[in-house]
Structure 1
Amino acid sequence: MNVLISVDMEGVSGIVHPSETNPDRYDYERGRALMTAEANAVIAGVLDAAPAADVLVADAHGPFRNLLPEQLDRRARLVRGKPRPLGMLAGLDADTDAVLLVGYHARAGSGPGVITHTMSGDILDVRVDGRSLGEIGLNAALAGHTGVPVVLLSGDDAACAEFEELVPGAVTVAVKEALAAAAAVALHPEVARERLREAAAEAIRRRTRVSPLSIAGPLTVEVDLYSPVSVDLAMLVPGVSRAGGGRTVAFSATDFAEAYRLVLLLVQLASIKPG
């Protein structure tokens, strides 16, 4: 069995503020240690249920260089660094049997949720055929395009609710209850890890009962960008056009994989600031 674990940071227990997820801020080292420990709990749970599983972990936050390699469970392999194919789901392929999303957060504009956003603070919304999708939906649908179910998600209660609406029957673990954008009632990290290990094992055992999230093409995608300069840069991409107002761009895609790659490109372009 081949299992991919994608690990983000904002949805980890104990993390409530952007400073804890930013490599340039003083709380980051604690944040990445908490992130690594939750990844290890999920790895352990997967291997409790399937001892012979090949486990691949994708570091999926910010620079994709947050998990501490020397502290990660040695039974797993680690994908880190960027840019890379498939972004937060690097390593996904047709041989993958299950995906688990750990430490995820709710989409931009939803809430209350802890540090909600979609890919970056420069993206206000992503709509696929009119349906708003955050990182949870985008990654679940990318896995679904490959025929792979996302069988578990952990994060705050807002993230879990968002995932449950998209993938009924999958396992969720709410490691904290959001009070505001930078406030939550969190489980003790050790309690969170115990629940994650148990939930990961359960998710692997019942994986065949979870259907992949399938969004068939062709697709129309709209992306709301924070900066008008980002819209100007997006106009350099073939097939991308302005769509109403001054902040929205649109494009068509033959399938979800193509749509996902273009969204990743727009995220990178949006990070470019005027000189």
Structure 2
Amino acid sequence: MPKSKRQKLVSLTKVSKKTKEHKNALMTQIQESCEKWRYCWLFEVGSMRNAHLKTVRKLWKDSARIFFGRGAVMAKALGTTPEEEHRDGIYKLAKQIKGQVGILFTDTEPQEVIEWFADFQQPDFARAGNVASKTVILPAGPVMRRHSEPHEPFPHNEDPQLRKLGLSTSLNRGVPTLSAPHKVCDKGKPLTPEQAQILKLIGEKMVVFRVGLLSRWDSTTGEVVQIEGAAISPEEKAGADEEEVMSE
């Protein structure tokens, strides 16, 4: 019998690594942006979600260039000492690149940038490790989804999943039903994977994606200004997506 062309052995152990050429190209892009734009902002993200960061990139596509992740590469491109810096004074910003942060190049006036990012906040579902923003108790009766108004009960085929997550449900006329109230989580406590999954299933969003501006470099003066009151808390950083360096 002829061997099927669909039967192909796919190795799951091979992972494409970032080559030296790729890193050099990225550094070149950052340095070119440093030459092109007046301001360079250092930022961090709370409740990181790739989809929301892509939205930010799209909205700023025509007026900015954004790089996020791989801090060592970004810092090296900018230069972390007066001798290595690519532009006057930018080493003071490069020295602050630690952890999961990004840089944004733009000519937009600082006050407009600050106001835009203060206003851009996107609610999303919490992940394991996030701290619950409130106590959630499911009442006795049908388990309801809160994704739409009016709320809808879960279908019968999701009852096994609800039980697996710790809900003591039973089918009542084909609807997963609780015989007694069930506390999903307590305000101020980290969420377990099961709790986070239940909150997602019922449609309860507990975290907010936002961008915290940390500092700003001005090419006309070479000065770096620290931005007060926009830092991201450790609780907001928990349960985040991991992101490679990307630019658009």
TM-score of the two chains, using structure 1 as the length reference: 0.29
| Higher relative contact order (CA closer than 8 Å, sequence separation 6+) | 2
TM-score of the two chains, using structure 2 as the length reference: 0.32
Name whichever structure is richer in helix by fraction. Answer: 1
- For the pair shown, the structure with the greater C-alpha radius of gyration is 2
